[in-house]
Amino acid sequence: MKMMLNSSQVSHFTLDAYLDPGLFKYVIFLTVLCFYVFIIVANVLLIVVICMNRSLHEPMYLFLCSLFVNELYGSTGLFPLLLLHILSDVHSVSAPFCFLQNVCLYSYGGGEYLILAIMSYDRYLAICRPLQYSTHMTGNRIAALIAFAWLCPLLLCVVMTSLSATLRLCGNVINKVYCDNYSIVKLSCGATTVNNIYGLFITCCSIFLPLALIFVSYAKILRICFSGCKQTRQKAVSTCSPHLASLLNFSCGAFFEIMQSRFNMNNIPNMMRIFLSLYWLTCQPLLNPLVYGLNLSKMRVICKSLISAEM
């Protein structure tokens, strides 16, 4: 008979998805470290570029800046512990830190979708209602939208993690390389109805509602593009294509993670499961600086001039 423990009595969780690659762990460590360094350098560079250039103090670029800050936040919640465990033979983490990482990673994901939704609304106003744009996108409204995109997912994830922290657990082994809320819920010996209902609620609030707003915004943008002039279509393509690429990339990663968490994936090789579980946390911080830095002309020109001046 399994012993029931309240999660407050669990002093640590074991992350059981790590492989033993032998000496190759140093190669993996250096590769992951390079990814993390690139994420920090690229996102910080773009944040500095936006903050230091008054010509970029426009709503679209301020929302981009908040997106890059969110990438740094999510990456910091994942990579330091991941790098430590790659080199370590013991893959355990204290319970408080595990719950803290849980809040960090899920609030990062929810914030990502909300910021992308706000950016789609911003593009809708700029393209479909250009004469009303300045009256809608005031400084106070921009600040309120950014604060909402950060604080709302954080509050929802704190409640979610608090519910998980009250469960009676029959074990402390998580089959992931990071702390995952659904994996903790599956360790429960008792009823998890409240957790499952709240999990569905937070999924709707963090994923489906932002996606619905994005869909409506782009449906209206496409309608204007098809009925407008060539210049309008070119403006829409140049400003919306990076956003759509970022949205598609992150949605694929989130879809892989949901599928892996909710369904039995034992027929998939362990290395592939690890890759899929990490993709949604690493794809955006790695690719967003490239997507936005290379595709938006203003960003590209200023970054080139900054790098040339340094050299």
What are the tens digits of pLDDT across the range 255-273?
888 877 777 666 777 778 8
Instruction: Locate 228 and state its tokens.
Output: 């407008």
CB atoms within 10 A of CB 33: 14
- pTM for the full predicted model: 0.89
Residues 179, 101: contact at Cβ < 8 Å? yes
Element of type H or E holding 141: helix 139-165
Indicate the number of domains in the chain.
Answer: 1
Q: Compute the distance between CA of residue 225 and CA of residue 171 in angstroms, rounded to an integer.
A: 55
Main-chain dihedrals φ then ψ at residue 279, nearest 5 degrees: -60, -45
Q: Compute the distance between CA of residue 216 and CA of residue 231 in angstroms, rounded to an integer.
A: 22
Residues 169, 10: contact at Cβ < 8 Å? yes
What is the predicted pLDDT for the residue at 8? 47
- Ordered per-residue pLDDT tens for the chain, 311 residues: 344 555 546 788 999 888 777 778 888 899 999 999 999 999 998 898 888 888 888 898 899 999 999 999 999 999 999 999 988 888 899 999 999 999 999 999 999 999 999 999 998 898 888 888 888 899 899 999 999 999 999 999 999 999 998 888 888 898 889 998 988 998 888 888 999 899 889 989 989 999 999 999 988 888 877 776 666 667 667 667 788 888 888 988 888 888 777 776 667 777 788 888 888 889 899 988 888 876 666 666 766 666 665 55
What is the predicted pLDDT for the residue at 293? 74
Query: What are the residues whose beta carbons fall under 8 Å from the beta carbon of 274, sequence distance 6 or more?
Result: 17, 19, 177
Query: Reduced to 3 states, what is the DSSP secondary structure of residue 178?
Result: coil
What is the predicted pLDDT for the residue at 76? 94
Query: Reduced to 3 states, what is the DSSP secondary structure of residue 57?
Result: coil
Q: Compute the distance between CA of residue 217 and CA of residue 63 in angstroms, rounded to an integer.
A: 16
How is residue 54 annotated by DSSP?
A: G
Residues 85, 15: contact at Cβ < 8 Å? yes
Q: Compute the distance between CA of residue 257 and CA of residue 282 in angstroms, rounded to an integer.
A: 12
- Extended beta strands in 31-169, E state: 92-94, 168-169
Nearest Cα to Cα of residue 29 among 77, 88, 71: 88
What is the predicted pLDDT for the residue at 143? 94
Q: Compute the distance between CA of residue 242 and CA of residue 273 in angstroms, rounded to an integer.
A: 28
Q: Which residues pair with 173 in a beta bridge?
A: 14
What domain range is 176 assigned to? 5-310
Instruction: Locate 219 and state its tokens.
Output: 């449906």
| Number of residues assigned to the chain | 311
Residue 67 to residues 128, 179, 246: CA-CA distances in angstroms? 23, 23, 11
Q: CATH number, domain at 151?
A: 1.20.1070.10
Instruction: Locate 61 and state its tokens.
Output: 């670029």
Torsion-angle region of residue 173: left (phi > 0), alpha (psi -120 to 50) or beta?
beta
What is the predicted pLDDT for the residue at 264? 67
Instruction: Report pLDDT digits (tens) over 8-54.
Output: 467 889 998 887 777 788 888 999 999 999 999 999 988 988 888 88
Query: What are the residues whose beta carbons fall under 8 Å from the beta carbon of 157, sequence distance 6 or more?
Result: 102, 103, 106, 107, 110, 202
